[in-house]
Structure 1
Amino acid sequence: MMNSVILIGAGLHLAALLALTLYGLHRLWLLWRWRQLLRHPQVVPQWHGSLPLVTVQLPLYNEPCVVERLLDAVAALDWPPERLQIQVLDDSTDETTALVAARVAFWRERGLPFEILRRTRRQGYKAGALAAGLTSAQGELIALFDADFVPPADFLRRLLPWFADPAVALVQARWAFLNSEASWLTRLQALLLGPHFGIEHQVRYRRGLFFNFNGTAGIWRRQAIEDAGGWQADTVTEDLDLSYRAQLRGWRFVYVDALAVPSELPDSLAAFCSQQQRWAKGSLQTARKILPRIWRATLPRPVKIEATAHLLANLGWLCGTLVALTVLPAVLWRLQADGYRFWPLDLTLFLLATGAILTYFFCHAWQRRQWSLLPFVPLIPLLTLGLAPRLAWAALTGLVRRGGEFVRTPKQGSAADWQRLLPAGPGRAWLPLGLGLYSLVPLLLAWRQLSAPGLFLLLFFPTGFFWLALQHGREEQHRRQPVARIRP
């Protein structure tokens, strides 16, 4: 019986490593295609005719630190006020409500077309707010910005020309990051998110593959939203869901890498984990909902394959968790006479997967000349390993449950008392700490039997878990300190 359990565990270990290797190879394919695209700059079309009426939607929920900055940036948009409608979709229950009222009154006095829409119930969360706003929207184009974004004044004028093609449903701009240099965590997030836009979106767009609206910093054609069935709240990633439904209806998406919209990264590990859990859960909810339609649709096979790879990418968290949890049975099997000779296979797959992923992020940061981020590339495997168990659970939840609460990612802006807004994370360190202790067992068992490369592989797991547990513990200790002692 025990031998069967060990054998099954070792098989799952190899299968998960192989899946991560395939994921890494897919990253290399994207990197190769991206390098080809760099030789062919994007050609911007020309806009002829009068300016269309644009509705700007600003969905808000308890964002006191950044809401005034957002409203001021939107007020500065270079667009005739008579061709503009600005909807502040405020579901807030805190001081944000008063801040919004005061700032909107300020800009109204100066002739700008701001209006506030409030709901008595936060039904449908962000999707519900956007749908409610759409019922009174007047524009044929709908621009969206989350609370922490700072759109440049020329945002509308630079994206408008793409709508000369009546088949274009969405134009998505690139995210930039105001606080990417604030800490090790924001640097790692900038490394992780940058290629999502700079590589993934570019390759998918330029090769005619499906890609997604990122919920903000983009402009929709209202007709496309309505044709695709509107905003729906049966996933927690309503932007991803609507994106695929619209493209299945034949609408085209455009990605503009040359226009960067500054935004704010979560500056606490707890907030970052919460954001990633929502994205992991929502992407699998969308996959469950959309993938059967994609494979039934009359689409080119490359579109179907890449859409599948995109929507199921967060299963990588499950694979990473399986690799960590099955290290012990894998070591026990390999320490037996029959299995020991297969140990180099584990190391080869691990190095191939890790090397491919690190190359992907390194090359993007290098091409963007983000020199200050390059030293943090080696930390990516440690961070992703430590996060994997929680995100794997979120992904599994997305496979079996529809909808759920849209958990807001708190942003701090330039607030002097930002530390008090950090979400509490009681017990967040205990899971990685426990997994770190568990990962020490196979290392101790194999200490005398394996060569240095094999020990290096086994040492990776406790290092990643203990490192993340330490960061969680430091953050929780930091959060409990009086604000005045943290930031003068």
Structure 2
Amino acid sequence: MHLAILITYIFLLLIIFCYSLVQLNLLYNYVKWNKLKSASPQLFNFENLDEIPLVSIQLPIYNEKYVAKRLIQQICKLEYPTEKLEIQVLDDSTDASAEVNRSYVEAFQQKGIDISYIHRENRNGFKAGALKEGLAAAKGEFIAIFDADFLPKKDWLHKTIPYFKDEKIGVVQTRWGHLNKEHSLITKVQAFALDFHFVLEQVGRSFGNHFINFNGTAGVWRKSCILDAGNWQGDTLTEDLDLSYRAQLKGWKFKYLLDVETPAELPIVISAARSQQFRWNKGAAENFQKNYFTLVNQPHLNWSNKIHAFFHLLNSSLFAVVLALAILSIPVLYIKDQFPEWDWLFYIMAFLGLSTFIFIIAYGFTYRKMEGKKASFWKFIGLFLSFFSIAMGMSVNNTKAVLEGHLGKKSSFVRTPKFNSVQKKKINAKAFSKASFSWEYILEFLLVFYFIFGIYSAFKLNDFGLLPFHLMLLFGFGFISYKSLFSKS
């Protein structure tokens, strides 16, 4: 039994180590991209009206009491020839905001803006269903999509649409910005994680010619690409990732624009962050089951593409690995004390622990890119430790999501509530954070005491190798438990 625990623990560490090597490769790609001058791409000439294509903008919203008006107003301010622009408000709302949103649309219609209001009687297919229904009526050759919490700048279309001059490009994706990054520790660590994805991962995959993903919003699709790839499908919770892979399997190229930022609002309450994480992680697992085995059997894709796609689609499954490592870490501490003759196994564990330093280096590059001259080493270390601690604290929530995704259990698309938190007026976020109490909360609370015992064990056994790990786990589960059980903000 003791040996089985150690072998399992080493195997889990090996998975994390392999994932870190993939991230190191993405870092290499990013550094290489950063040093090379990219060739001038083909671009539409926007000085020639005949070259400016017709664009449809889709705004999928659902019960967005606080941010729908802000979104519609911002989109109607975009700089683009009015005769070349169509706006669709795809409103699946079931509350009083539906009629309010309709009135906003009618007001802009009276100003001569080509904007329509589409309200479905059901939520079949959730967001994917709304986008598909809107697409059937869309006049544009290109389809831009913005979720309710995004505020693109006025020249956004001028910075994205010209790249479609290259007929092989099916998607142009921009980087997310953060309107309320400094709101709380929750928003700071979310921004830290998203910046890593949008700076290192998206650039690294794009430069390495690996599969990347449309991020559900703040991007543009070529309409013919959507249709060629099989249109929007609502059988996974991440319809964006699904269509991205199906489009790239058809040979379409994605263009990622790191330097075009589209600001958005981060979730400010823990229930919202939990539901968003649950949806993203379950959707990734569903997409692995749906698309990876098709991808791996494509003879024209090299093994590098297949390995990167494997870890891309399974990155959410690492939460299950982390949770298992955390739980096994305390028994490992006692086995190490009882069986000193197995020291060679613990040397292997120590070597595989180098993955932590790879993550620090990779996240450090992202942090420095985003902060520029404001970058502080100690602030970075604080953010890194906070992010990883809270991410580990979310591992119960996310492991449940991953298991449901791999096992094929279906669930509803739960929207992430937005509160327009960038305004100074007070928002009653509690009224919109309706996360029901569940067994996960109890398990997370019990794990707080479990890792207190792990810290006690370090002093009892005079072995402090895992003490930093257990301190981070204590903080992570303690933070998530407190916010979930006792705090609503």
Normalization by structure 2: what TM-score? 0.91
> Can you list the C-alpha shifts for 1:196-233, whole angstroms capped at 9, x where unaligned?
11111112112221100001011101101001100001
- Amino acid in the other structure paired with 1:468: I
- Amino acid in the other structure paired with 1:336: Q
> Aligned pair in 2 of structure 1 residues 69, 458: CA closer, same or farther (>3 Å)?
closer
| Equivalent-residue separation in structure 1 for 2:406 and 2:32 (angstroms) | 36
| Equivalent-residue separation in structure 1 for 2:323 and 2:412 (angstroms) | 25
| Equivalent-residue separation in structure 1 for 2:92 and 2:239 (angstroms) | 17
Q: Describe how 1:70-219 pairs up with structure 2 within 5 A.
A: 70-219=71-220
Check conservation: 1:61, 1:90, Cα contact below 8 A: yes
Q: Show structure 2 runs of 5+ residues with no match.
A: none
> Aligned pair in 2 of structure 1 residues 36, 418: CA closer, same or farther (>3 Å)?
farther
> Can you list the C-alpha shifts for 1:315-361, whole angstroms capped at 9, x where unaligned?
110110110121233233222235562445434433x2222223222
Match of 1:430 in 2: 442
- Amino acid in the other structure paired with 2:402: A
DSSP-derived class of the 1:38 partner: helix
| Equivalent-residue separation in structure 2 for 1:424 and 1:371 (angstroms) | 37
Q: Show structure 1 runs of 5+ residues with no match.
A: 479-488
Q: CA deviation at 1:143?
A: 0.6
Aligned length: 472
User: Which segment drifts farther, 111-120 or 49-58?
Assistant: 49-58
User: Which segment drifts farther, 414-423 or 215-224?
Assistant: 414-423
User: Considering only aligned residues, what root-mean-square deviation do their CA atoms show, in Å?
Assistant: 2.0
Match of 1:7 in 2: 3
Match of 2:430 in 1: 420
> Can you list the C-alpha shifts for 1:148-196, whole angstroms capped at 9, x where unaligned?
0011111111111211111110000111110111111111111100121
> Aligned pair in 2 of structure 1 residues 457, 237: CA closer, same or farther (>3 Å)?
closer
- Amino acid in the other structure paired with 1:94: D
Check conservation: 1:59, 1:129, Cα contact below 8 A: yes
DSSP-derived class of the 2:111 partner: coil
Q: CA deviation at 1:45?
A: 3.2
Q: CA deviation at 1:16?
A: 1.3
| Equivalent-residue separation in structure 1 for 2:347 and 2:486 (angstroms) | 37
> Aligned pair in 2 of structure 1 residues 174, 382: CA closer, same or farther (>3 Å)?
same
Match of 1:378 in 2: 385
Q: CA deviation at 1:416?
A: 2.9
Q: CA deviation at 1:371?
A: 3.6
DSSP-derived class of the 2:240 partner: helix
Q: Describe how 1:185-334 pairs up with structure 2 within 5 A.
A: 185-297=186-298, 298-334=300-336
Q: CA deviation at 1:423?
A: 1.2
Q: CA deviation at 1:398?
A: 0.5
Match of 2:349 in 1: 346
Q: Is residue 2:451 matched to residue 1:451?
A: no
| Equivalent-residue separation in structure 2 for 1:94 and 1:254 (angstroms) | 37
What is the aligned counterpart of 1:404 among 397, 411, 415? Answer: 411
> Aligned pair in 2 of structure 1 residues 174, 442: CA closer, same or farther (>3 Å)?
closer
| Equivalent-residue separation in structure 1 for 2:37 and 2:271 (angstroms) | 39
Match of 2:398 in 1: 391
Match of 1:45 in 2: 42
Identity across aligned pairs (percent)? 33
Q: CA deviation at 1:393?
A: 1.4
DSSP-derived class of the 2:461 partner: coil
> Aligned pair in 2 of structure 1 residues 149, 54: CA closer, same or farther (>3 Å)?
same
- Amino acid in the other structure paired with 1:330: V
> Aligned pair in 2 of structure 1 residues 402, 461: CA closer, same or farther (>3 Å)?
closer
> Can you list the C-alpha shifts for 1:403-429, whole angstroms capped at 9, x where unaligned?
531110001113632423441443564
- Amino acid in the other structure paired with 2:44: W
| Equivalent-residue separation in structure 2 for 1:420 and 1:449 (angstroms) | 44
